[in-house]
């Protein structure tokens, strides 16, 4: 049973607009969440993280929102750029626990059209 779900396999957005990628989790013990980005033929690269003591974390064009009651997090990219086109993975785990307990979603392919 998947504990981390990214229900949209793909998303297409126009350049300059907002991209919103969603992630749901089922394990209420998770308190540490990350987003990774993956280009074709490359490994995933870390993008942004958030712990459960916050509901928002911002880094430049990227903002992650966490709704603990809904067990939902989202990644907002504003403004979207063609170079943002990639697969985005959501991951969840226990802070202070082991990295190897991170659980990943299947990913969402974002395409930003010029």
Residue of 8, 65, 104, 111 interacting with other proteins (CB under 8 A): 104
Based on the shown chain and the rule CB under 8 A, indicate whether residue 109 belongs to the binding site for other proteins. Answer: no
Residues 1-60 interacting with other proteins (rule: CB under 8 A): 2, 4, 32, 34, 36, 41-46, 49, 51
Which CB, 17 or 106, lies closer to other proteins? 106
Sign of CA dihedral 93, 95, 98, 99: positive
- The whole-angstrom separation of Cα 114 and Cα 98 is 40
- Asked if residues 14 and 79 have their Cβ atoms less than 8 Å apart, the reply is no
Which CB, 34 or 112, lies closer to other proteins? 34
Count of residues in contact with other proteins, rule CB under 8 A: 29
Q: Give whole-number Cα distances, 83 to 25, 31, 41, 77, 86, in Å.
A: 28, 30, 15, 12, 8
Checking phi first, is residue 41 left (phi over 0); if not, alpha (psi -120 to 50) or beta? left
Tell me, residue by residue from 62 to 91, as one string, x for binding to other proteins by CB under 8 A and - for no binding: ---------------------------x--
Residues that bind other proteins (CB under 8 A): 2, 4, 32, 34, 36, 41-46, 49, 51, 89, 93-107
């Amino acid at each position: 049973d998947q504990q981390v779900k990214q229900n949209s396999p793909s998303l297409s957005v126009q350049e300059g607009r907002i991209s919103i990628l969603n992630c749901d989790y089922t394990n209420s013990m998770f308190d540490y969440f990350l987003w990774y980005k993956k280009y074709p033929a490359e490994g995933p690269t870390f993008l942004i993280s958030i712990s459960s003591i916050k509901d928002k974390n911002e880094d430049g064009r990227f903002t992650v929102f966490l709704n603990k009651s809904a067990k939902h997090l989202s990644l907002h990219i504003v403004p979207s750029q063609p170079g943002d086109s990639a697969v985005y993975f959501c991951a969840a785990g226990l802070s202070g626990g082991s990295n190897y307990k991170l659980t990943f979603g299947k990913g969402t392919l974002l395409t930003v059209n010029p």
